[in-house]
Structure 1
Amino acid sequence: MMNKSYFALVLGLFSASSMAHTALMACYDEGNGYIMCEGGFSDGASAEGVEVRIEQNQSVVMQTKLDEFGEIYFEKPQSDFTVVLNAGEGHVVYVNGRDITE
């Protein structure tokens, strides 16, 4: 029979590992016609090379990756858009362009 404390420890480890790194992204209007977004993970890990898409009307208008600083800069689209950070299964972040301010 499995020891109850061992079971609790194993369950705790699985829970901690599933929440160990949540993808994060913040975007800012630079005030000069450009948007800057920075991404990372809640455990402090770099998001360098993680895929980012700019979508308008459910179509991808730009696809790139975060640079060595975990950032991207792009020209602000004239109409509604969404920035999507795709760090893999369960790690997708959406930022509505309307929520991006100077």
Structure 2
Amino acid sequence: MIKMIKRFMFLGLFAVLPNVALAHSPFFMCEYDGEKITCEGGYSDGSSASGVKIKLMSDDGKVLEEKKLDKLSSISFDKPKGDFYILFDGGTGHSVEVEMGDISGL
């Protein structure tokens, strides 16, 4: 329930910001449930991020795994050993990195 409240608060933030600031900014958030890391992404103008490349990266810059967001703009990974980050690769000006420490539940 708390996760849902946080998600709605996060998404609600975009409803109160001016449209100019929301042109087409990506958002991406991840959480760990004890088994899998699940991430969801999208764009501030409401457009889908389905098909966007997501890379699970080691801290030294090596690609550990690469997938694309599904039709619901979500994806999941097994938690890797060692330090890592997740890259939402939406193209120039539309990339977001989620550091390991920013993943809820880790």
User: TM-score under structure 1 normalisation?
Assistant: 0.78
Q: Secondary structure, in 3 states, of the residue corresponding to 2:65? A: strand
Q: Secondary structure, in 3 states, of the residue corresponding to 1:45? A: coil
- Alignment map for 1:62-101 (pairs within 5 Å): 62-101=65-104
Could you list the runs of 4 or more consecutive aligned residues of structure 1 that deviate by over 6 angstroms after TM superposition? none
1:46 aligns with 2:24: no
Conservation of the 8 A alpha-carbon contact between 2:28 and 2:88: yes
1:23-59 Cα shifts (integer Å, max 9, x gaps) = 1100001122x10000000011100000100110211
- Alignment map for 1:30-45 (pairs within 5 Å): 30-32=33-35, 34-45=36-47
Unaligned runs of 5+ in 2: 1-19
* Partner Cα separation in structure 2 for residue 101 and residue 88 of structure 1: 25
Q: Which has the larger radius of gyration?
A: 1
Unaligned runs of 5+ in 1: 1-15
1:55 aligns with 2:75: no
Q: By how many angstroms is 1:99 displaced?
A: 1.6
Q: By how many angstroms is 1:19 displaced?
A: 5.0
Question: Percent of pairs identical after alignment?
Answer: 39
Conservation of the 8 A alpha-carbon contact between 2:39 and 2:74: yes
* Partner Cα separation in structure 2 for residue 20 and residue 91 of structure 1: 11
User: TM-score under structure 2 normalisation?
Assistant: 0.75
Conservation of the 8 A alpha-carbon contact between 1:20 and 1:42: yes
Show the counterpart of 2:14: none
Q: Secondary structure, in 3 states, of the residue corresponding to 2:96? A: strand
Root mean square deviation, CA, Å = 1.6
Q: Number of matched residues?
A: 86
